[in-house]
C-alpha cells in the first residue's frame, strides 16, 4: 500500500504544468494518493533577468504519488510527459538511480588493423585484441 502522498503533478490555470512537493500547495493535506483537488494555490518559481521570483498561482492537483518515482511511474502509465518545471527535491532513500555508464569499446576498423592492411583488405576482423571476443567482418 502506498504511503502518504509527498509529491503532486499539477496543472496551473494558465496551462503550465509542474511537479510540486505537496507541502508547497496551500491548504492541502492529502491522506491518500486519490485525494486530488481543484482550485488550489500552488507554488511556482521562475528566474527572469538573473532575479528569482517565487509565488503561488491557482491550479489543479491532477495526480499524487507517494514519492517522485511513484508519481513518474503513474504518469508513464497514462502516457503523460514529465514536465520541465519540477519543484520537488528527491531524497536519497527514494531509490533514485545513480548508475554510471559503462565504458564503450572502440570497435573501429583502424583500432585493429594497420593502414596497409586496410587498403589491401587483409585485416583480421575476427578477434578483439583485448578479450578474444569474435566479431564479424564489416565487408
Residue 123 has a pLDDT of 52
Average pLDDT, the chain: 76
Residue 101 has a pLDDT of 41
Residue 11 has a pLDDT of 96
Q: Check whether 23 has a pLDDT greater than 50.
A: yes
Residue 16 CA to residue 37 CA, distance in Å, equals 17
What's this model's pTM, rounded to 2 decimal places?
Answer: 0.62
| Cell 494518493 sits on residue | 33
Residue 36 has a pLDDT of 93
pLDDT tens string 54-98: 999 999 999 999 999 999 999 999 999 999 888 877 554 444 444
Residue 26 has a pLDDT of 95
Residue 49 has a pLDDT of 86
Residue 28 CA to residue 92 CA, distance in Å, equals 25
Q: What is the DSSP letter of 110?
A: G
Residue 122 CA to residue 137 CA, distance in Å, equals 11
Residue 132 has a pLDDT of 54
Residue 64 CA to residue 71 CA, distance in Å, equals 6
Amino acid at each position: 500500500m502506498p504511503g502518504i502522498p509527498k509529491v503532486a503533478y499539477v496543472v496551473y490555470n494558465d496551462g503550465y504544468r509542474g511537479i510540486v512537493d505537496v507541502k508547497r500547495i496551500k491548504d492541502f493535506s492529502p491522506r491518500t494518493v486519490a485525494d486530488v483537488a481543484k482550485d488550489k494555490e500552488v507554488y511556482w518559481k521562475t528566474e527572469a533577468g538573473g532575479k528569482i521570483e517565487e509565488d503561488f498561482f491557482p491550479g489543479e492537483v491532477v495526480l499524487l504519488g507517494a514519492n517522485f518515482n511513484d508519481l513518474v511511474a503513474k504518469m508513464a502509465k497514462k502516457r503523460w510527459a514529465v514536465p520541465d518545471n519540477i519543484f520537488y527535491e528527491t531524497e536519497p532513500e527514494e531509490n533514485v538511480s545513480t548508475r554510471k555508464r559503462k565504458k564503450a569499446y572502440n570497435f573501429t576498423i583502424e583500432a585493429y588493423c594497420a593502414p596497409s592492411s586496410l587498403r589491401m583488405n587483409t585485416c583480421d576482423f575476427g578477434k578483439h585484441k583485448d578479450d578474444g571476443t569474435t566479431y564479424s567482418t564489416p565487408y
